[in-house]
Amino acid sequence: MYLITIEGGDGSGKGIATKMLEEILINEFTFSGIWVTGEPRRDHQLGKLAVESVRTGDAGPVREASLFAADRLDHSHAWIIPRLKKGNAVVSERNVHSSLVYQGIVGKIGLSEVAKLNSAACVPDLCIWVDCDPVKALRRITHGTLRAATLDKQEYFETDELQQKIRAGYAKLLGGEVATPPPFDTGVVVGPILNDGTKNDLKKKLQKAVRTFLHRHPIPLNVSSEEVEHVMLEKALRGERGQTTLDVLDTSPKKGGREWLNGDSPWQVMKHACTIYHEAFHSISDTRKMDVPQSPLSHTVISVIGTLSLLPGAEVSSLRKWFGPVRVVSSRHTRRMLKFFNEQSGWVRTHKPLKGRDAPRSELRSEWQAFGRLGLVIWPLKEEFSSWESENPKGRWRDSLSAIVGKNPSDEMLEKLEHCRARLAILGSGADGIELPASVDEFRKWWRDGPA
């Protein structure tokens, strides 16, 4: 879902940083998969042309920039975006910022010109700038193992003078001295991350950078997060019908469950669930309340309960894989919430195996299946529902959706309603014989009346 790029001068440590970042993402986050790539692509014809252009520098910065842009455009649309749409993270060693620095600043053809050449390519969601003293970096290049086996000739950039200019170029661009031209000014830049210590030091810096970025749940720049969620939910439903499941999972989704409303209207399901949740929340100590969301419509609650509604039961590691990149919750917080749901609310049953050292498994009790599925449906409106509940403690849940939508819904609201409708198209209306709502008025009716 996110394109994360590693940038810096030659020999700065981009390669080792890329490998470290891959390991961090695999161990700590819930992407469908992690793909590592780099630019220019040395195994693709377009990339080979770009590599050849910098062997001696004879091509000139304009031709270099054009060849790199051609490789990047194909790379973006034929390789990167299809993976992002499936909920993967892509880590790229070098991307558009390299062209902005090498040809735009050092080659003096201008940042705006390079940006225009690359304007149809992916925009890095997060760019991590790794920096190193250029003298030390050049020593790594000429005496180390950094150069690929196919590049037995020194590229013209690999000189002390040019490495100084390249480092200064990165400092100007990524340090904010000069403005990054659109559309590449929308991503997050972190750095410089100095690669001047041990490998462990570098890994800790990378961990901090990526954790800070991902824990904010940023909106992806190259794909729709809703599109990613639709892919994840479709996979769950295919597994539910006895077909395929995610390759990374060891637990199949729950069988059946198309009539998940259990005869109630959506507003009745929501009212009952919120009442029980608030009773459970107020029964715990003030200390524990610091670790539990006050609202049952929070990201964490809907993520855990909604995902469990798709599974027959799962241990924490498997459950988190099913979260995907949109519903991600940290491992520590997932465990805390499962403990709360098991001990206080009774929504979840957690049991340990009688023998062996297998991790405890948690399963959602059948009476909360409806709230789990409903939470997934209204996910695009969860903040609005949470605000309505907070502002209307004695309000009628039956009228909550109409109050949120209003008589003349904005374009943003209409888009969110369409997202909810699309989720219903995947999960089903909740009852046989109830057609999927095709308009705002029909969505209101579904919310009020359900299978009645």
74 pLDDT band, cuts 50/70/90, is very high
| Whole-number Å distance between alpha carbons of 368 and 260 | 9
Whether the predicted pLDDT of 412 surpasses 60: yes
Per-residue confidence band for 356, with pLDDT thresholds at 50, 70 and 90: low
Which CA distances in Å does 307 have to 2, 175, 292, 299, 340? Answer: 21, 41, 18, 12, 16
Q: Which of 158, 192, 214 is the last residue of a domain?
A: 214
Query: Is residue 415 domain-resident?
Result: yes
What is the signed CA dihedral for 96, 102, 106, 111, rounded to 10 degrees?
-20
At 153-181, the pLDDT tens digits run 445 455 577 878 888 999 999 999 999 99
Tell me which range, 157-171, 213-227, 332-346, 350-364, is most confidently predicted by mean pLDDT: 213-227
Q: Are 389 and 277 in contact (CB under 8 A)?
A: no
pTM, 2 dp? 0.83
Q: Which of 85-94, 251-260, 361-370, 409-418 is predicted with the least confidence, judged by mean pLDDT? A: 251-260
Looking at residue 52, what is its pLDDT? Answer: 86
* pLDDT > 70: percent of the chain: 88
Residue 53 binned pLDDT confidence (cut-offs 50, 70, 90): confident
Residue 220 lies in a domain: no
Q: What is the pLDDT of residue 403?
A: 92
Is the same domain home to 314 and 425?
yes
Is the pLDDT confidence value at 310 over 50? yes
Number of domains in the chain: 2
Asked if the bond preceding 40 is cis, omega within 30° of 0, the reply is yes
d(CA 92, CA 128): 10
**pLDDT of 250 higher than 70:** no
**Which of 79, 49, 77 is closest to 65 using CA atoms?**
49
- Of 182, 214, 246, the last residue of a domain is 214
Question: Average per-residue pLDDT in the chain?
Answer: 86
Residue 431 inside a domain? The answer is yes
Residues 14 and 160 both lie in one domain: yes
Q: How far apart are alpha carbons 51 and 441 in whole angstroms?
A: 57
Question: 333-336: long-range contacts at Cβ-Cβ below 8 A with a sequence spacing of 24 or more?
Answer: 333/291, 333/300, 334/304, 336/291, 336/292
**Tally of CA atoms within 13 A in the half-sphere of 329 that contains its CB:** 28
Pick from 232-236, 333-337, 386-390, 403-407: least confident:
232-236
How far apart CA 91 and CA 89 sit, in angstroms, is 7
Q: What is the rounded average pLDDT of the residues 79-94?
A: 96
Q: Given a cut of 70, is residue 142 above it in pLDDT?
A: no
pLDDT at 145: 41
| Same-domain status, 273 and 378 | yes
Which is higher by pLDDT, 307 or 257? 307
The residue from 172, 187, 214 where one domain ends is 214
CA-based torsion, 390, 395, 401, 404: positive or negative: negative
Backbone φ and ψ of 192, nearest 5°:
-80, 135
In a domain, residue 287? The reply is yes
Do residue 189 and residue 265 come from a single domain?
A: no
Examine the domain organization and report whether 177 and 233 are in the same domain. no
Instruction: Specify whether 422 is located in the same domain as 343.
Output: yes
Q: What is the CATH number of the domain that holds 135?
A: 3.40.50.300
* Residue 313 near residue 251 (C-beta atoms within 8 A): yes
The reply to whether 149 and 242 lie within a common domain is: no
Range of the domain at 114: 3-214
**What pLDDT band is residue 423 in, cutting at 50, 70 and 90?**
very high
pLDDT at 345 > cutoff 90: no
Mean pLDDT within 324-334: 91
The three-point CA angle 79-85-88 to 5° equals: 80
Average pLDDT of span 146-153: 42
Same domain, 189 and 279: no
Same domain, 230 and 154: no
Greater confidence (31 vs 143) lies with 31
Is residue 118 scored above 90 in pLDDT?
A: yes
Amino acid at position 131, single letter: D
Residue 10 located in a structural domain: yes
The C-alpha atoms of residue 269 and residue 247 are separated, in whole angstroms, by 33
For residue 129, is it within any domain?
A: yes
User: In the predicted model, what is the mean pLDDT of residues 419-432?
Assistant: 87
Check whether residue 126 and residue 240 sit in a common domain. Answer: no
Does an H or E element contain 93, and which? strand 89-93
pLDDT category at 246 given cuts 50, 70, 90 is very low
| Least confident range of 35-39, 98-102, 353-357 | 353-357
Considering the domain architecture, whether residues 230 and 312 belong to the same structural domain is answered as yes
- pLDDT for the residue 235: 83
Cβ neighbours of residue 97 closer than 8 Å, sequence gap 6 or more: 5, 7, 124, 127, 129, 170, 173, 174, 184
Residue 355 has pLDDT above 70, yes or no: no
Do 158 and 245 fall within a single domain?
A: no
